Amino acid sequence: MKKWEIIKNIKVEKLVFGWKWFAKAEDWKTIFIIGWPVPWATYDIKILKKKSSFYECQIINTVKNAWYELPQRCDMDGVSGWARWQIIPYEKQLEIKSNQVKEAFFHLEKFDNNINFEEIEPSPLIDGYRNKMEYSFGNYISKKEWIDIRNNLWFHKQWEFSKVVDVRSCILVNDEFNKIFREFKKALLDLWYPAYDQYIHKGFYRHLMMRKTHFTNEMMIVLNYNDSYNKDYNLEKIKKAMLWVAEKYDIIKSMYFSRHDWPADIAIWKLDHFYWEKIITEELLWLKFNISPTSFFQTNSSWAEKLYSIALDYAKKDDLSGSTVLDLYAWTGTIWMIFSPFAKKVVSVEMVTSASRDWEANAKLNNINNIEFINAKVEDYLDKYLKQWKTADLLIIDPPRSGMHKNALPNIMKFNANQIIYVSCNPSTLARDLESILQTWKYKIEKVKAMDMFPHTHHIETVVSLIKK
């Protein structure tokens, strides 16, 4: 088979690497299908790349839908890429994700057939779970034709930052969120100010960011505009239009403008607060978190509560008294806050400098004193930690998708910790890092739990408990 050749009637078998799908060709080579096929559906595909052991292909025609396929529920024209899996029944989504995690473990050289895979944990909310959305103003791309209407507020088309699809409602946020979005969309578009154009760097409206707390039901709205155009457009008029919407909804507690004139697609920069509170407050378990426009917060609050409860349960919290917990890749340190009442000391390591601001504010808000925040790269800091503290009883590792830096892994072993809890958003890098840890023969996998943080998407989280042999 050659490049550009069309292969007919290919049935998608399974998901690999998070977003590529797998099938077998007639010559038994592997086929990776890019784009968004549905497992067990049948397609005609075109070969884009030919390698010695695999083909990379693109779908050109759907021959047969999968037997279980559901209709799309998001009310939009075009595909935003946010909730692609909504056509797969939720039970099936869980099955695919759970199998994907198990498969990553089966490739481990030190794989032990007796690994305790616990049931996958569904998200407490299957629809309407997102607490934050960032909508973009821009040109319009419809499924059928490209229509240049500059004055609009939609979602970016996936991987095409100059284009947007028209969204009226999205199943990832709840009905009230969708309703308020539509009200702001109308109020802002009725002023007829042009959307910022990514190609020519002209225009005014750039993004609308909406955040909503799940447990306390408070909402924050941030309108981002192009700063170099503010003289031509009337901010007072915009404020009035936004206040008109805000005053109808008690839930709206805070509003800001955000401005910059960079070509970069950034929603939050120079902030001008203009309505009510400067922050909104979320509550998870017994803790409070102040959320500003720049704060990081887990996107699915009810899921975050679940994750933290499971991490505490895995760590057998009552055995932690007198212990030191080292929280690596901490961001604003929500995990250490959960562990702090049970441990003697918690040390969090995070490389992003601005995270310490939220960390400090949250520590103060919750009267937590037995904690330390280290602003450093994990791979650079571990040596220093070892010299100063020598040991840690529990390690919590929650790295980005790329997993741990190779220089960090050998140091992990030197702590002689009783337990390591590894939280991962990428089964492939999780397996790679576990391989290194298991090769030392010091630890064994106690249990593994896949967790679904983002229903209707391909994302999957996994929590692994490793204990000293």
Ligand X SMILES: C[S@@+](CC[C@H](N)C(=O)[O-])C[C@H]1O[C@@H](n2cnc3c(N)ncnc32)[C@H](O)[C@@H]1O
Q: Which residues bind ligand X (CB under 6 A)?
A: 298, 329-331, 334-335, 349-352, 377-379, 398-400, 405
Catalytic residue chosen out of the listed positions 57, 74, 170, 425: 425
The closest alpha carbon to 213, from 319, 338, 327, 297, belongs to 297
- CA dihedral sign, ordered 86, 88, 91, 92: negative
> β-strands 345-350, 371-375: how paired?
parallel
In whole angstroms, how close is the CB of 334 to ligand X at the nearest point?
Answer: 4
In whole angstroms, how close is the CB of 424 to ligand X at the nearest point?
Answer: 9
- For residue 308, the one-letter residue type is Y
- For residue 357, the one-letter residue type is R
The answer to whether residue 425 is catalytic is yes
Residue whose CB is less far from ligand X, 13 or 360: 360
What are the E-state strand segments in 182-218? 205-212
Say if residue 91 is exposed, middle or buried (CB neighbours under 10 Å; 0-12, 13-18, 19+).
exposed
Residue whose CB is less far from ligand X, 53 or 353: 353
Contact 297, 282 (CB under 8 A): yes
In whole angstroms, how close is the CB of 49 to ligand X at the nearest point?
Answer: 30
In whole angstroms, how close is the CB of 307 to ligand X at the nearest point?
Answer: 8
Q: CA dist 318 to 309, 339, 342, 392, Å?
A: 13, 11, 7, 17
Residue whose CB is less far from ligand X, 188 or 463: 463
d(CA 445, CA 262): 47
In whole angstroms, how close is the CB of 147 to ligand X at the nearest point?
Answer: 39
Contact 282, 289 (CB under 8 A): yes
In whole angstroms, how close is the CB of 426 to ligand X at the nearest point?
Answer: 10
Residue whose CB is less far from ligand X, 43 or 373: 373
Residue whose CB is less far from ligand X, 285 or 352: 352
The closest alpha carbon to 85, from 30, 46, 126, belongs to 126
- DSSP letter (8 states) at residue 193: P
Residue whose CB is less far from ligand X, 331 or 454: 331
d(CA 194, CA 237): 15
Q: CA dist 155 to 143, 272, 346, Å?
A: 14, 24, 40
Burial letters for 290-311: b for 16+ Cβ neighbours within 10 Å, e otherwise?
A: bbbbebebbbbbebbbbbbebb
Cα angle: 310, vertex 312, 315; to 5 degrees: 110
Contact 398, 329 (CB under 8 A): yes
In whole angstroms, how close is the CB of 349 to ligand X at the nearest point?
Answer: 6
Residue whose CB is less far from ligand X, 52 or 353: 353
Contact 419, 397 (CB under 8 A): no
Residue whose CB is less far from ligand X, 335 or 347: 335
Tell me which residues are annotated as active site.
425
